[in-house]
Chains A and B, each alone.
Chain A
Amino acid sequence: MKTNSILIGLMALCIFSNALFGATGCTLNDPDRDVLRMFPKSTGYKTDFIRLKEHGGEVTVKEIEEKLKGPVDPTYESIDVPYAYYTILKGKEPIGRIHGLNQKGTFGGMQLIVATDLNGKILHFYYQKISSPAARKFKQKDFTKQFVGLTLEDFYINKLKPGSEKDKIGKITSPTTDHADDFKNTLRGLMKNLIQLDIIHLNRHYDTVYKKLKGE
């Protein structure tokens, strides 16, 4: 009985110790193969699990909401969700990054994965998971390749100066008219992904453009 009490106590220590806990975020399903596919010259990668609560917490969430012009989802986007950031290496040298996030869609969660260069320019974009009757249309390369070459600046232009000559994203159309909400969800998820990358890895490089577009 005494042993059992000790065991239960130690188990409680395991469960409730003050270590860093978090829910599973969006990670690559097959990272080795995915890394080689998107960065054929890579020799390795380093994984970082990063939570917004370690990068400003609620203040950062407010900043993201302001830039997105909308609220973050408490189910998919709480501050303790760990995001996996893969820094792609050639030898010891970083050559790019891969990162993904869960975006709420019409039929459940979508997993949006982007590979970027070290300045945050999109090199690859794909849906690791999408629940939608139009999933096949969304996953077609003719649609996803339209995002290659875009940066967070393009998303800021689309949000703050929609329809302007420089609005590249405004020229991208939904691959389906029946489930166009998931097109909007995709744009939102990609923009949030790039905002987080800017905050976490790029030292808010694109804030200058954002403030300029806002007229500040």
Chain B
Amino acid sequence: MNNKIVTVVKLGIILGCALLNISTMGEQKLNERELLFKGGYLNNPQDDAHRRFFIAAAGFEHYSKLSNDFGDFLTQNVQLRFTWDFREEPKDAWAIEIHNAWAEFKLGLGKALRIGHFQPYFGLEVTEDTHGALFQTLMMQNVGFKHDWGLGYKTFIGPFDIRLGTQLGYGMSLPKYKENFLVTTRISTPEGRNTNFALSGLYGRVFSMAHGHSEPSTGHGHGNTNMMAMPMPKESKPMLVFDEHVHRTFPYKEPGDIVRKWRVGYDFSHFGGYLAIKNEAALGEDDGILVGAFMLQAEYPFSFLDDLVATYQVKVVSQDLSDKGMSYIPVTVGLSYKVLQYLNFQSAYEVTLLPFASEEVENHKLIIQLYYFGT
């Protein structure tokens, strides 16, 4: 019975997405195709079978605006991706990921109400589009997922942009309620400016995610784990923040236990001249355990070759600030090159340092990605 329901739902979603492309005459819309090939090598001491990986994905984004005589009043966005993980048996290899699926109603200039599946209003992820990027923000470490169902409101008061969100705290693409919730807020200097500073807070009872096999922390969709050789929390309970099926809608994966969490944090981004700096940090608790995370990223474009950008990122993550052994530090360097208007090549090499680990563990990852986003 459940299988039939799931099949009907997934057929409905995909048909709806297909019809969306052909039923929106008269509105202003952008439709983009997406193709992604991502592969790499991990020296994974915990899972020898998954040292090499290759993932292919195809998807699309639909973005549209509806307007009347008084201007725009509704914005819609759907991002959907079909992925194939070549490490897996065919029956387990495929997944459908819904990233964005929201509608935003304009309530006046600067005021809007959003409903649907969108990112929680916490940290740098709110203003950074990491949908096709290898380098990610701390959203996975802080919240455990990048999108959730719910309601969001944004406005601005004087020089400050304010966002308030109330979501399910569930993370998966099908909504489910089990006394879970997530409330987020972000107050910032005007978003979209070259320099942006924000304070964020979140509180909720949030589903943790089940374990998957290891994969890079860099990346998106169908693979956001970073658990290889990572310190495990006390009492061997599942890690709270890494899961490879975070965005996976079908086949359905049941998430783990509910975790009560809160966070406060700041984020800062600055694009000055030709150097971009991104920084965020958060502090809080997961079920009473004090946790924290910090990220600093710099991007530098080279003048001798157009559209070649070097990126350096360091994260410091502690899953228990009272225990030094629960900290790890992923350091990543990468190059990206815009081959054509719609085609981007990205690479990243990551070394995860475990300065307080009881035993020495090598932990390297090399990832390359070819990403097409356009017509």
Q: How far apart are A138's CB and chain B's nearest CB, in angstroms?
A: 10
Set of chain B residues within 8 Å of A133, measured between Cβ atoms? 273-274
Is B17 on the interface with A (CB-CB < 8 A)?
Answer: yes
Is B130 on the interface with A (CB-CB < 8 A)?
Answer: no
Is B360 on the interface with A (CB-CB < 8 A)?
Answer: no
Write the A83-116 contact mask toward B (1 if CB under 8 angstroms, else 0): 0000001011000000000001011100000000
B194/A30 in contact, CB under 8 A: no
Is B32 on the interface with A (CB-CB < 8 A)?
Answer: yes
Set of chain A residues within 8 Å of B106, measured between Cβ atoms? 44
CA of A107 to CA of B274 in the docked complex: distance in angstroms? Answer: 7
Is A42 on the interface with B (CB-CB < 8 A)?
Answer: yes
Contact of A29 with B191 at beta-carbon distance under 8 Å, contacts A10-B15, A22-B374, A22-B375 already known: yes
CA of A16 to CA of B211 in the docked complex: distance in angstroms? Answer: 34
A131/B301 in contact, CB under 8 A: yes
In the complex, chain B residues 61-83 whose Cβ is within 8 Å of any chain A Cβ: 65, 67, 69-72, 80, 82
Write the A124-164 contact mask toward B (1 if CB under 8 angstroms, else 0): 00000101111110000000000000000000000000000
Contact of A135 with B272 at beta-carbon distance under 8 Å, contacts A19-B31, A45-B71, A47-B65 already known: yes
Is A3 on the interface with B (CB-CB < 8 A)?
Answer: yes
Q: How far apart are A102's CB and chain B's nearest CB, in angstroms?
A: 10
Set of chain A residues within 8 Å of B46, measured between Cβ atoms? none
Write the B95-132 contact mask toward A (1 if CB under 8 angstroms, else 0): 01000000000100110000000000000000000000
In the complex, chain A residues 1-48 whose Cβ is within 8 Å of any chain B Cβ: 3-4, 6-8, 10-11, 13-24, 28-30, 32-33, 35-36, 42-48
Set of chain B residues within 8 Å of A129, measured between Cβ atoms? 194, 271
A44/B15 in contact, CB under 8 A: no
CA of A135 to CA of B301 in the docked complex: distance in angstroms? Answer: 14
A108/B306 in contact, CB under 8 A: yes
Set of chain A residues within 8 Å of B82, measured between Cβ atoms? 7-8, 11
Q: Which of the segments B235-243, B255-263, B281-289, B336-344 contacts the partner chain?
A: B336-344
* Of B30, B58, B67, B273, the contact of A11 (CB 8 Å cutoff): B58
Residue of A nearest to B65 (CB): A47
Residue of B nearest to A92 (CB): B69
CA of A110 to CA of B272 in the docked complex: distance in angstroms? Answer: 13
Set of chain B residues within 8 Å of A21, measured between Cβ atoms? 31-33, 374-375
A17/B69 in contact, CB under 8 A: no
CA of A76 to CA of B307 in the docked complex: distance in angstroms? Answer: 11
Set of chain B residues within 8 Å of A117, measured between Cβ atoms? none
Write the A39-64 contact mask toward B (1 if CB under 8 angstroms, else 0): 00011111111000000000000000
Is A70 on the interface with B (CB-CB < 8 A)?
Answer: no
B70/A43 in contact, CB under 8 A: yes
Residue of B nearest to A77 (CB): B341
A107/B342 in contact, CB under 8 A: no
CA of A82 to CA of B342 in the docked complex: distance in angstroms? Answer: 13
Is B156 on the interface with A (CB-CB < 8 A)?
Answer: yes
Interface size class of A (residues with CB under 8 A): 35 or more
Is A75 on the interface with B (CB-CB < 8 A)?
Answer: yes
Is A80 on the interface with B (CB-CB < 8 A)?
Answer: yes
B375/A23 in contact, CB under 8 A: yes
Set of chain A residues within 8 Å of B190, measured between Cβ atoms? 30, 33
Is A78 on the interface with B (CB-CB < 8 A)?
Answer: yes
Is B52 on the interface with A (CB-CB < 8 A)?
Answer: no
Residue of A nearest to B340 (CB): A75
Set of chain A residues within 8 Å of B341, measured between Cβ atoms? 23, 74-76, 78, 81
B31/A36 in contact, CB under 8 A: no
Among A6, A21, A45, A136, residue most surrounded by chain B Cβ atoms (within 10 Å): A21
Set of chain B residues within 8 Å of A36, measured between Cβ atoms? 109-110
* Of A15, A44, A136, the contact of B71 (CB 8 Å cutoff): A44
Q: How far apart are B20's CB and chain A's nearest CB, in angstroms?
A: 8
For this complex, 9 residue pairs linking A to B, each with C-beta atoms less than 8 Å apart, are A19-B22, A19-B31, A23-B341, A23-B375, A43-B70, A44-B72, A92-B70, A108-B307, A134-B273
Taking beta carbons and an 8 Å cutoff, which residues of A are in contact with B?
Answer: 3-4, 6-8, 10-11, 13-24, 28-30, 32-33, 35-36, 42-49, 74-76, 78, 80-82, 89, 91-92, 104, 106-108, 129, 131-136
Q: Told that A49-B30, A75-B340 touch, could you supply 18 new A-B pairs with CB distance under 8 A?
A: A6-B11, A10-B14, A11-B96, A14-B17, A14-B60, A14-B80, A17-B21, A19-B31, A20-B31, A21-B31, A21-B32, A22-B31, A28-B192, A75-B307, A78-B341, A107-B301, A131-B301, A136-B272
